[in-house]
């Protein structure tokens, strides 16, 4: 849950601007440390990383990056996926505590169901870092590291408008809205960010949600599963677009974007403008082919790197750098956050956006 005041948003923007000037990775973040340097725990300590299901390429990449990065920094690592669901992740975190993990990095499946396990971690003296997804309704979380997810939504909303305007200079435009899984704390943040851009246009008649399904609850995609998005798109098309033209679809990520496009193709309809997120290989190919309109580049390498920088600060007994102390209220406390800036990517700027990515740069030649 993100609480937004003008001051908080200004603070986040200022932090992001500062981050952008140092090339997004912040390898030199020790410049603002300020700790005693006496050492928080031994350098070869165990670090636990609890990741959710393998629902996107970025999560799979994160596993390898954490294993390699923690080993390079001198730590022992225990990186686990919870493909079996929430109960498996709960058990994995408890096991990490039992093994003596000094820091537990948590990419939650359901951020509201880990309170007991994280309280156990805190009681054992471990530090808890929420990774990518905010952990909710507990004071047993110390830090949050993520891309600015409200900004992600804003960029997606603006991309939807820009893409439709490029195809047809004037509205009204017929659109449909998709959101992520309701058990992911980020899903509503993405949606709210997008709606901060789209709602005024819906209200003034520029945009028309033909199905009438405008709320987060109506737009959710359980489990972030492609088949769920495709089935819902099939239903929306059959019920609302037998004669009307669909101009655009707000999709919160690339996996769902491709499912939406598959549905539209199967129905024999002209392809609408479809947004995305995560810069997945197949979606970048789709963007370069002129099908999916946009994605968001949230380089997992930089996010994992920043999480490991936090671990290194904790190990050294130094102050952990954050750039937002106001925006992320998890229902019990405001969690100090370090936010990285997301980047919108379309066919026009893909070559530049992926210039330093060894895989994606090859797709933009």
Kindly tell me the burial class for residue 270, based on how many C-beta atoms sit within 10 Å of its own C-beta (0-12, 13-18, 19 or more): exposed
Does 361 fall in a domain?
no
Does 12 fall in a domain?
yes
Check residue 289 and give its pLDDT: 98
Check residue 39 and give its pLDDT: 60
Check residue 26 and give its pLDDT: 32
Query: Does one domain contain both 24 and 114?
Result: yes
Check residue 55 and give its pLDDT: 79
Check residue 237 and give its pLDDT: 98
Query: Does one domain contain both 240 and 304?
Result: no
Structure tokens at 313: 């600060």
Residue 155: domain span: 149-297
Q: What is the CATH number of the domain that holds 239?
A: 3.40.50.2300
Query: Does one domain contain both 238 and 182?
Result: yes
* pLDDT, tens digit (0-9, with 9 covering 90-100), for 245-300: 999 999 999 999 999 999 999 999 999 999 999 999 999 999 999 999 999 999 99
Query: Does one domain contain both 153 and 283?
Result: yes
Query: Does one domain contain both 177 and 312?
Result: no
Query: Does one domain contain both 153 and 284?
Result: yes
Query: Does one domain contain both 207 and 80?
Result: no
Tokens 């709960």 sit on residue: 90
Tokens 């725990």 sit on residue: 41
Query: Does one domain contain both 178 and 214?
Result: yes
Query: Does one domain contain both 199 and 124?
Result: no
Check residue 281 and give its pLDDT: 95
Contacts 24+ apart (CB under 8 A), 261-266: 261/286, 261/291, 261/292, 262/230, 263/229, 263/230, 263/233, 263/234, 263/237, 264/233, 264/237, 266/234
Query: Does one domain contain both 108 and 201?
Result: no
Are the CB atoms for 305 and 69 separated by under 8 Å?
Answer: yes
Residues of the chain falling short of pLDDT 50: 1-38
Query: Does one domain contain both 73 and 117?
Result: yes
Rounded CA separation 62/79 (Å) = 9
Number of Cβ within 10 Å of residue 234's Cβ equals: 17
- The predicted model scores a pTM of 0.80
DSSP 49: E
């Amino acid at each position: 849950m993100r609480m937004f005041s003008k001051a908080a948003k200004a603070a986040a923007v200022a932090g992001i601007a500062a981050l952008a000037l140092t090339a997004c990775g912040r390898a030199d973040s020790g410049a603002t440390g300020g700790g005693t340097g006496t050492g928080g725990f031994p350098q070869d300590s165990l670090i636990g990383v609890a990741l959710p299901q393998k629902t996107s390429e970025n999560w799979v990449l994160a596993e390898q990056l954490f294993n390699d990065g923690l080993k390079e920094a001198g730590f022992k690592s225990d990186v686990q996926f919870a493909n079996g669901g929430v109960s498996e992740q709960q058990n994995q975190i408890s096991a990490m505590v039992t093994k003596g993990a000094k820091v537990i990095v948590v990419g939650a499946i359901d951020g509201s169901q880990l309170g007991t396990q994280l309280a156990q971690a805190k009681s054992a003296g471990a530090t808890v870092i929420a990774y990518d997804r905010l952990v909710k309704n507990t004071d047993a979380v110390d830090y949050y590291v993520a891309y600015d997810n409200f900004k992600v939504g804003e960029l997606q909303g603006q991309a939807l408008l820009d893409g439709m305007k490029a195809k047809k200079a004037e509205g009204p435009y017929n659109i449909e809205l998709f959101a992520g899984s309701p058990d992911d704390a980020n899903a509503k943040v993405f949606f709210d960010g997008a709606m901060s851009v789209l709602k005024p246009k819906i209200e003034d008649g520029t945009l028309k949600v033909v199905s009438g399904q405008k709320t987060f609850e109506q737009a959710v995609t359980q489990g972030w599963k492609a088949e769920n998005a495709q089935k819902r798109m099939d239903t929306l098309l059959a019920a609302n677009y037998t004669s009307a033209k669909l101009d655009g679809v707000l999709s919160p990520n690339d996996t769902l974007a491709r499912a939406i496009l598959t549905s539209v193709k199967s129905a024999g309809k002209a392809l609408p403008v479809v947004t995305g997120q995560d810069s997945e290989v197949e979606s970048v190919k789709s963007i370069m082919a002129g099908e999916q309109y946009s994605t968001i580049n949230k380089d997992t390498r930089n996010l994992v790197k920043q999480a490991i920088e936090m671990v290194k600060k904790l190990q050294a007994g130094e102050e952990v750098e954050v750039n937002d102390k106001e925006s992320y209220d998890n229902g019990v406390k405001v969690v100090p956050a370090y936010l990285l800036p997301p980047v919108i990517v379309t066919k026009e700027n893909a070559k530049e956006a992926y210039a330093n990515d060894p895989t994606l740069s090859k797709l933009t030649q």
